Amino acid sequence: MKFLFAIVFCFFGLNVKADVATFAGGCFWCMEPPFEKLVGVSKVISGYSGGSEKNPKYEEVARGKTGHRESVQVHYNPDLVSYRRLVEIFWMNIDPTDGNGQFVDKGFQYSSAIFTHNKTQRKIALKSLDLLKLSGKFKKIETKIIDFKSFYPAEDYHQDYYKKNLVTKTKYKYYRAASGRDDFIEKHWKKDETLNWQSDYQKPNNFKNKLSEIQLEVTQNEGTEPPFKNEYWDNKQAGIYVDVVSGEPLFSSKDKYKSGTGWPSFTKPLVSNNIIELNDTKLFSERIEVRSRFGDSHLGHVFKDGPEPTGLRYCINSASLRFIPVEKLEKEGYENFKDLFN
């Protein structure tokens, strides 16, 4: 029966990619929320990693007797959120200068580390460390990058501690406020900040001179164009959509669908690393804003009411995009995407 279900699942295109990332950032209660907020993250598990003792107990880890660090294991879909973005979120939620714990929690068991699961993750983690050093934010960085060996889930009462019930929510909020973590984050990071990854796609110095009034309003002032009265809402041509400011690839016509909203809608990004998500509370309700990484353009929002296989609706302003049809991909320098349409 399980085999039959797997065949049906794949046949209808509902199989979802899943990778794993592991981070130690002090108290795991505080490290779950920033990752769980990300679209593309399916679950975050609190646990213990880095030590040799099997199936450790919280009391043993907390006393520093196991060689483990309190850690979180992040399960994510790389088509929707990149490992680079996970690493950025990690750096923006810890104090990398403390080699003896995190904030009020002291001891090796609370020290920070990135546990890499393969060579690709290790390369990205090391690069992120270099970029953080180049940023000049911190004089000395103590966070370790370590090859992953094992992970043991923590006891059930630790999982999603921050949202279990009124008692744990209250305890979590008090602990987090008193720990100094939020004050540290606010002091060192802006809400939309990213690491300065190298790319062929950047925001030109004179970009404003090349944009129309509506393109400027949408990309720079987080405006919204009228539904059904924009360039690409009903575009049915095959090709890719790039940032109108930087040219970075964002979406593909293969993932575009008719949502009935009057704006171009997609089930997933073309290049997940080029998409940045931020909480948006401007209209008295919490939404997830979507921005381009290198152009820093406001694109639109992502909602969890889309079709399979992702269940997502990236609702994007046409004014943030430039469409490149298949026959012009090579001429425009996007020949790497031609195979998508073969």
Active site residues: 27, 315
Token pair in block for residue 315:
């609702």
Bridge partners of residue 291, in order along the sequence: 276, 298
What ranges make up the beta strands (E) of 210-261? 239-243, 249-252, 256-257
Phi and psi torsions of 146, nearest 5°: -130, 140
Q: How far is residue 89's CA from residue 242's CA, in Å, rounded to a whole number?
A: 24
Q: For the stretch 196-227, what's the b/e string if a residue is b when 16 or more beta carbons lie within 10 angstroms of its beta carbon? A: eeeeebebeeebeeebeebbbbbbeebbebee
Other Cβ atoms within 10 Å of 260 Cβ, number: 9
DSSP annotation string for 37-103? TSTTEEEEEEEEES-SSSS--HHHHHTT-SS-EEEEEEEE-TTTS-HHHHHHHHHTTS-TT-SSEET
Tell me how far CA of residue 83 lies from CA of 6, 88, 188, 293, in angstroms.
27, 9, 22, 14
Q: 176: which residues sit within 8 A by CB, 6+ positions away?
A: 29, 30, 162, 182
Torsion of CA 245, 121, 29, 138, to 10 degrees: -70
Q: How far is residue 125's CA from residue 9's CA, in Å, rounded to a whole number?
A: 34
Phi and psi torsions of 31, nearest 5°: -95, -15
Contact between residue 9 and residue 56 where contact means Cβ atoms under 8 Å apart: no
Beta-strand pair 113-116/144-147:
parallel
Contact between residue 79 and residue 272 where contact means Cβ atoms under 8 Å apart: yes
